[in-house]
Structure 1
Amino acid sequence: MSRRRKAGLRLAGILLAAGLLPVAMPAQAAGDGHGGPAAPAAESHGGGGDGHGGHAAPAKPIEPLPVAPRGLPVELVRTLQLLQDRIARGSTQAHLAQRQLLGHIEQRLLALEPEAWGSPENVRAAVTFALSGGGPTLLRRMLEAGRLPDGDAPLVQGALAYLEGREREARTLLGRFDARTQPPGLAGQLALTQAAVTVREAPRKAIELLDLARLLAPGTLVEEGALRREIFIHAQGGDAKRFEALSIQYLRRFRRSVYAGNFRQRFATALTRLDFDTDRARVAQLERMLDEIEPGERRDLYLLVARAGLDQGRRETATFAAERALSLAGPDSEAASRARLYRAAALIVVDGRYEEGLDSLRGIERAGLDPADLRLLDAALSTAGQIRGGVPPVAPVAAEPAPSAPRRQLPEAASIARAREALAQVDRVIDRTDP
């Protein structure tokens, strides 16, 4: 079997595993449903093709639409982008297949003759591949070959500088190109990359580029990533209206994304900046955003907000979010135990509610908590003991370790840790300057 045939079979296997190719139907599926061959349409009436015993002229074959042939790099990158768009819609199979497909495409592209990189469309496909997770190896080989068309070298050099962490050089080189004039496959990815190397120096310009990326690549993983990043630039800049509007959009359209776990974690952290004790309008704002998702996911987000509030010493936020989570949890569920823990841990440092918080802490069943929450319970009880003994706590409750344990940050839930690990693979390449 030839190398090309083997490579084709390998690619088909990757796509089949990711759900991008249909499984072949059994031969009888093409028949009449009883194991026999299907009767021609003209015979279904017992006569000729005109339904009256005559013979109709055979139909003319449908002429295919003219399609310009594309090179191998373009076709392979289209396949990769199709796979990544399924990731944005929540396909874990596509996410698992992504690494293998990236490796397969890199091998195929590295095996091309240097003359292949004399084609502008192949060059842009290679840059798209590199910025979509393919890495810098192919770009280095292209520059070494010295066959790039006039005007394309800065694009390759800029993409390589970005992937190698040379942000200023990447900003200068990539800034020569207008994403709106690039082929559809590259346009959104280029705008996303330009935003990544611009956000430190010019956040407003980065927002414009992220808006452009979303417009150029709607419904894709590029749009998902651009929307996620833009939300948190607005959160850091204090633009509450845009933060709310874009968050609602993300929760409506991309909450199933494989990378939504990262969004929820950072979304919860951003929400702790809101003052839920005195600003009722902000309470309504939060509830308006979370009403976009199902009760189970809403409960989990409230739990994340409560945990983040404890970690940052925002007891009003932690209390409010824990009470909301408790109202959405079954009375004897693990979520209810966590919500009671977070609420009690916040109450022990609220004037006049110390005893209520301590009683709640003592009533929590340890058997229903994971190791991270057990450490939190021990820390809260230790802090309560310091308060009762007249020794004020020196740190927020969630950051306080158990007496015999080393000081550490509040651990993440296992599901969030898995989501963050999955996201790291793409974010390391797509957005080294993720705000």
Structure 2
Amino acid sequence: MLKRLRSILMTCCVLATPFAIGSARANDIEELAPFKMIRSLQYVQDSVVLGDHSAIEMQRFMLGAIDKRLRAADPSVFSDPRNVDAALVYAMSGGNPETLKFLSDHDVAGNFDSRVTDALRQYLNGKGGLIVENLSKAAPEYRNARIGPYLYLILGNATSQQDPVAAMKYYDWARLTAPGTIIEEAALRRSVFLAVQANAPDKGFHYALTYARRYLTSPYASQFADVFVELAVAHFGGEAQGRISEILDFMDAPRQREVYLRVARRAAIAGKQALAKLASERAETLGADGAAQPEVLAGFYAGLASVPSSDVFAATASIAAIPDAELSPRDRALRDAAKAVADAVVRPPNDESLTQAFVSKPDRPVVSDGTAEAEDTGSGMSPFGSATPVAAAAGTAEADAGEAGDPEHDGFVAKGRSKIEEIDALLKGEGK
């Protein structure tokens, strides 16, 4: 693929790369128009999200080459609006924010729209919330321009926290004006997430189906899988089951199994026993390729979901029998939490729980100033916080492995603790 890509780049007179051959001159790159280089960058980035991961290194090289070209360009180069657009697209495609600042600061001819450059500079410096008002007024003027889809994607990102519904509309325009590109991939993936946040399952399933049809080979597909699992867990049932199955049909068996395992894990943590068992059973039926790990995880999540049920003894024995080596660190933490909850639930009542003698005993340790010590509630980090692309959605739940401080584990423990406190209160009431 890289040979074919290099051939296209040279044929289009786009780059004179370090591996150029023949009579190509060393200073060719200094003579290229920025808009021609940007076209090749767009081609490479679109190839990446369509499954050609070998082009990732080419993308990095091209970003560096374009940065040098823009900084070395004579100001007269930007009298061509195509080169102005190229500089803006470069900045919105993962380029160096300082380069855009350099160009706008040296723009004495007024070739750059200060409304757009100021908004992008703020956004790239982490101040996206401050650009919404100004950019929302400027963006419609560029709706049909080359930078239009990029501006609407940026506007959707900046609006997403305050107004998810409005952000989805911006994403819709971005993806519909740039089909088959990295812009559409990002807009679809983020729209699924916003549909979950806005409790709009119909929109969420529509976006998810479109994504599954086109971008399952994207290096960002793992982020889509995380959000799709949230959507499936929140709305699994009735007609939604058919829509979920339709989306999963676009995946091969290992990816379907991975999604079901993630659904089972989420459902078990959320206390949705029926869903956790159903997802675990479906994951097991997809384990026909002989892989033992998914079958172990499916049984583990099914047992985890059974801990709060009347079958608590069998469930505890089942999950305790799984060797540590078969579970990720986060799943081992979940197993330990489930065992602790189960042990507390089935522990025979003692004298303290049947009398009122220790009613005044504080629930938490008291520190020297007389206040109760704060209870550890975990890191509180969102499972969607990471924006770093990962290899792919396929794999096992080991990809979810992390160190201590898992908010899901903390939530599971907190839920179990509240149930134990309710049981203790009932026992104390009986002792009156």
CA contact (8 A) 2:78 2:111 kept: no
**Is 2:274 the counterpart of 1:307?**
no
Residue in structure 1 matched with residue 388 of structure 2 by the alignment: 421
Which whole-Å CA distance do the structure 2 matches of 1:181 and 1:148 have between them?
A: 24
**Is 2:41 the counterpart of 1:80?**
yes
Which whole-Å CA distance do the structure 2 matches of 1:158 and 1:243 have between them?
A: 29
In structure 2, the CA distance between the partners of 1:343 and 1:375, relative to structure 1 (3 Å rule), is same
Q: Tell me how large the CA RMSD over aligned residues is.
A: 3.4
CA contact (8 A) 1:309 1:318 kept: yes
Q: Give the Å deviation of 1:218.
A: 0.5
Which whole-Å CA distance do the structure 2 matches of 1:264 and 1:104 have between them?
A: 34
CA contact (8 A) 2:104 2:112 kept: no
Q: Give the Å deviation of 1:344.
A: 0.6
Which whole-Å CA distance do the structure 2 matches of 1:167 and 1:411 have between them?
A: 20
Which whole-Å CA distance do the structure 2 matches of 1:412 and 1:90 have between them?
A: 27
**Is 2:217 the counterpart of 1:230?**
no
Question: Which of 202, 218, 222 is 1:257 aligned to?
Answer: 218
Residue in structure 2 matched with residue 20 of structure 1 by the alignment: 5
Residue in structure 2 matched with residue 344 of structure 1 by the alignment: 303
In structure 2, the CA distance between the partners of 1:170 and 1:181, relative to structure 1 (3 Å rule), is same
Q: Give the Å deviation of 1:199.
A: 2.7
CA contact (8 A) 1:142 1:148 kept: no
Deviations 1:218-277 (A, max 9, x none): 000000001111122222222222211221111111111110011101221232223x5x
Amino acid at match of 2:5: L
Deviations 1:342-392 (A, max 9, x none): 111111112x22133123224434443344433333333333222221599
Which whole-Å CA distance do the structure 2 matches of 1:127 and 1:315 have between them?
A: 50
Which whole-Å CA distance do the structure 2 matches of 1:22 and 1:329 have between them?
A: 43
In structure 2, the CA distance between the partners of 1:230 and 1:137, relative to structure 1 (3 Å rule), is same
Question: Which of 142, 145, 149 is 2:103 aligned to?
Answer: 142
Which whole-Å CA distance do the structure 2 matches of 1:148 and 1:305 have between them?
A: 56
CA contact (8 A) 1:115 1:147 kept: no
Amino acid at match of 2:194: I
Residue in structure 2 matched with residue 327 of structure 1 by the alignment: 285
Which whole-Å CA distance do the structure 1 matches of 2:291 and 2:382 have between them?
A: 22
Kindly tell me the number of residue pairs found equivalent between the two proteins.
344
In structure 2, the CA distance between the partners of 1:202 and 1:412, relative to structure 1 (3 Å rule), is closer
Q: Give the Å deviation of 1:334.
A: 0.5
| Runs ≥4 residues deviating over 4 A | 179-182, 406-413
CA contact (8 A) 1:303 1:322 kept: yes
- The secondary structure found in structure 1 opposite 2:251 is coil
Amino acid at match of 1:268: V
Amino acid at match of 2:188: L
Which stretch shows the higher mean deviation, 337-346 or 239-248?
Answer: 239-248
Which stretch shows the higher mean deviation, 166-175 or 188-197?
Answer: 166-175
Unaligned ranges ≥5, structure 2? 9-30, 354-362, 364-375, 392-432
Residue in structure 2 matched with residue 177 of structure 1 by the alignment: 139
Deviations 1:180-206 (A, max 9, x none): 54433x221111112222333433332
- The secondary structure found in structure 2 opposite 1:380 is helix
Amino acid at match of 2:152: A
Deviations 1:111-130 (A, max 9, x none): 21233333322111101110
In structure 2, the CA distance between the partners of 1:149 and 1:420, relative to structure 1 (3 Å rule), is closer
Residue pairs, 1:245-284, within 5 angstroms: 245-274=206-235, 276=236, 279-284=237-242
Which whole-Å CA distance do the structure 1 matches of 2:163 and 2:388 have between them?
A: 29
Which whole-Å CA distance do the structure 2 matches of 1:156 and 1:332 have between them?
A: 52
Residue in structure 2 matched with residue 163 of structure 1 by the alignment: 124
In structure 2, the CA distance between the partners of 1:364 and 1:179, relative to structure 1 (3 Å rule), is farther
Q: Give the Å deviation of 1:341.
A: 0.8
TM-score under structure 1 normalisation?
Answer: 0.70
In structure 2, the CA distance between the partners of 1:213 and 1:201, relative to structure 1 (3 Å rule), is same
Which stretch shows the higher mean deviation, 364-373 or 243-252?
Answer: 364-373
Residue in structure 2 matched with residue 369 of structure 1 by the alignment: 327
Amino acid at match of 2:6: L
Q: Give the Å deviation of 1:408.
A: 5.8
- The secondary structure found in structure 2 opposite 1:334 is helix
Which whole-Å CA distance do the structure 2 matches of 1:166 and 1:365 have between them?
A: 47
Deviations 1:293-343 (A, max 9, x none): 222211100111122223444434323222221221147611001111111
Which whole-Å CA distance do the structure 1 matches of 2:256 and 2:382 have between them?
A: 17
**Is 2:167 the counterpart of 1:209?**
no
Residue pairs, 1:392-403, within 5 angstroms: none
Residue in structure 2 matched with residue 129 of structure 1 by the alignment: 90
Deviations 1:64-108 (A, max 9, x none): xxxxxx962101111111111011112222224333322222122
CA contact (8 A) 1:191 1:210 kept: yes
Which whole-Å CA distance do the structure 1 matches of 2:82 and 2:210 have between them?
A: 34
- The secondary structure found in structure 2 opposite 1:149 is coil
Question: Which of 293, 316, 337 is 2:251 aligned to?
Answer: 293
CA contact (8 A) 1:119 1:149 kept: no
Amino acid at match of 2:338: A
Q: Give the Å deviation of 1:171.
A: 2.1
